[in-house]
Structures are given as C-alpha cells and as structure tokens.
A = this chain, B = another copy of it.
C-alpha cells in the first residue's frame, strides 16, 4: 500500500533542547564531527487505495493543521513512497 511520508522539524530559529542534549552527548562520547543535532518527527501515513491529487492535498492539510504545530515546527517535506 502506498505511504505518504511527512517530515516535521523544529523551526530553525528555535532552540531544540532534545537536539542540544544529543549534541552534547555525542561530543562527550568523542563524536566531534557532528556539530549540531536537531530532532524532528517522521510520520508515515498509509493510504487505502491510490494516492490521488485529492488525497495528497488532504495529507498536506493534515500535516499543517494536525501533525505539526505551526508555531514551533515546520513541515519540511511530504513525499509518496510505494
């Protein structure tokens, strides 16, 4: 069944405390190559049937209004995976 993948990340201008904690841990553990870590969500929506333009538009609406909080998060991508 086709799956729509929605990626949501904290807005670039906001502090991401979870990511900051991981950045600190990586550095302490000797993985200094990674300067910054940000952690967001990957949401997989399984579609019953074909992914029509209408379904994709509905997914976009859901992503903006239900799956993400527009005040602190950005929907960075919406893509269809078979």
Contacts and interface: CB of A to CB of B under 8 A. Distances in A.
B49 A33 contact: yes
Given A1-B35, A44-B9, A29 B59 contact: no
A41 B41 contact: yes
Interface residues of A, number: 34
A4 to B, nearest CB: 8
Given A41-B40, A41-B42, A42-B7, A47 B34 contact: yes
Which 3 A-B pairs give the minimum distances between C-beta atoms? A36-B46, A42-B42, A35-B48
Given A22-B66, A35-B46, A41-B42, 7 more contacts: A26-B66, A29-B66, A33-B48, A34-B62, A38-B44, A40-B43, A42-B42
